[in-house]
Amino acid sequence: MALIRNGFLAADGYSPVPADAPLPATGPLLLTLPQWQAWRTELIERGTPVGVRLASDEHPEALAADTNHLSLIALEFPSFRDGRAYSYARLLRDRFGYTGELRAVGDVLPDQLLYMQRVGFDAFEIDSNDPVADYEDAIGGFSVVYQPSGDERVPALRLRHG
């Protein structure tokens, strides 16, 4: 598994916490939603980087009030065919104002990176021999888009009219 962040190979830096384990004393953590909810107050006070990994049936609304406190949200694709996380990503970015790292995890295929990037993901955990090349291939393939989707690309229907 490789992690691509903003187009570059990156070290993860966040550690998951095993179920039933106590809250570790330090370090950037990647928590499940229940863990975050249990340790929320303490972690906000502590101020170290915290990420939450949402399962595909956990609606990001659960984090709507916390987007300022989180530096990573990972959304799970249980199968590449399950497209819920595309909408979750848009809600997190457009509705809940989340600006931190939004990471796609699970069954993430190189051919889907463009779509994921367009809805707001900026980090991807992919299984690939050459993840940077895959990423660049996928993202660079299109210079025209037809619809706004939360990214900075300007859709054709606006470009046409200046």
Partner 1 sequence: MYRYDEFDHQLVTERVEQFRKQVDRRLAGKLTEDQFKPLRLMNGLYLQLHAYMLRVNVPYGVLSARQLRKLADIARRYDRGYGHFTTRQNIQYNWVSLADTPDILADLATVEMNAMQSSGNCVRNITADPFAGRARDEIEDPRVWCELIRQYSILNPEFAYLPRKFKIAVTGAPNDRAAVGVHDIGLRMHHDADGRPGFEVLVGGGQGRTPVIGKTIRDWIEPEEILAYIEAILRVYNLHGRRDNLYKARIKILVNALGIDKFREMVDAEWEAIRGQGLTVPEAEQARIAQYFRPPAWASLRDIDAELELQATADPAFGAWLNSNVSAHKAPGYAIVSLSLKAPGREPGDLSADKMDAVATLADLYSLGELRVTHRQNLVLPDVRQADLKELFRELVSLELATPNIGLLTDMIACPGLDYCALANARSIPVAQDISRHFTAVDKLQEIGALSINISGCMNACGHHHVGNIGILGVDKKGKEFFQITLGGASDQNATLGDRLGPGLPQAEVPGAIEAIVDTYLAQRESEQETFLATYRRVGIDPFKTAVYGEEPVRRVA
Q: Is 87 in the site for partner 1 (CB under 8 A)?
A: yes
Q: Considering only 7-15, 19-27, 68-76, 147-155, which stretch makes contact with partner 1 by CB under 8 A?
A: 147-155
Site for partner 1 in 27-86 (CB under 8 A): 59, 80-84, 86
Site for partner 1 in 116-145 (CB under 8 A): 116, 118-119, 137, 141-145
Query: What is the H or E stretch that residue 105 is in?
Result: strand 101-106
Residue 11 DSSP SS3: coil
Q: Which is nearer to partner 1, 38 or 156 (CB)?
A: 156
Q: 29: which residues sit within 8 A by CB, 6+ positions away?
A: 14, 15, 16, 17, 43, 48, 49, 50, 51
C-alpha dihedral sign at 9, 105, 91, 32: negative
Q: Which two tokens stand for residue 22?
A: 């106590």
Distance, CA of 65 to CA of 63 (rounded, Å):
5
Q: Is 152 in the site for partner 1 (CB under 8 A)?
A: no
Q: Is 97 in the site for partner 1 (CB under 8 A)?
A: no
Q: Which residues bind partner 1 (CB under 8 A)?
A: 59, 80-84, 86-88, 90, 95, 109, 111, 114-116, 118-119, 137, 141-149, 155-161
